[in-house]
Amino acid sequence: MPDNFPTDESMETTMPEEMVSIYDAPDQFTAELICATLEAAGIEATIPHLTIGPASGLFPHLGLGWSREVSVPASQVEAARAVLQAELPPEAELIAEQEVDTLTLEEAEERIRNL
């Protein structure tokens, strides 16, 4: 057998982790928002069957969609549920934080341009 012939060990592949549906959103926008929230928390999240063919781009405009479920890997179900069940800070706390942060959008954009 040639030296560069793949061995059984090098041909091993890992099966993708089972995805578990954790949230059934009322609409596509909410599903995408939940998915983005989980991803921002470092949790892999997907909306199964989001794109199925060339006409799928019309579905959100028609109020239709193949799926509004948000799925995460089985190993991240508990963490995802914890993120989704976390309480939002009170509005007064958000306002106080905003008052402390005096950076404007224009200043933030300028900083990014100067990087």
Q: List the pLDDT tens digit at each of the 115 positions of the chain.
A: 555 655 655 555 666 789 999 999 988 889 999 999 999 999 999 988 655 555 556 666 665 555 688 999 999 999 999 999 998 788 888 888 888 888 888 998 998 898 8
CA 88 to the chain's CA centroid: 19
Residues 80, 81, 87: CA angle, nearest 5 degrees: 110
What is the phi/psi pair of residue 70, to 5°?
A: -110, 130
* Tokens standing for residue 70: 């948000």
* Tokens standing for residue 112: 């990014």
Q: Do the bridges between strand 19-24 and strand 69-73 make them parallel or antiparallel, or are there none, so unpaired?
A: antiparallel
Q: Give me the pLDDT at residue 22, please.
A: 94
Q: Give me the pLDDT at residue 91, please.
A: 86
**DSSP code for 6:** P
CA–CA dist 64, 58 (Å, integer): 8
Q: Which residues fall within 8 angstroms of residue 65, CB to CB, at 6 or more apart?
A: 27, 28, 31, 50, 59
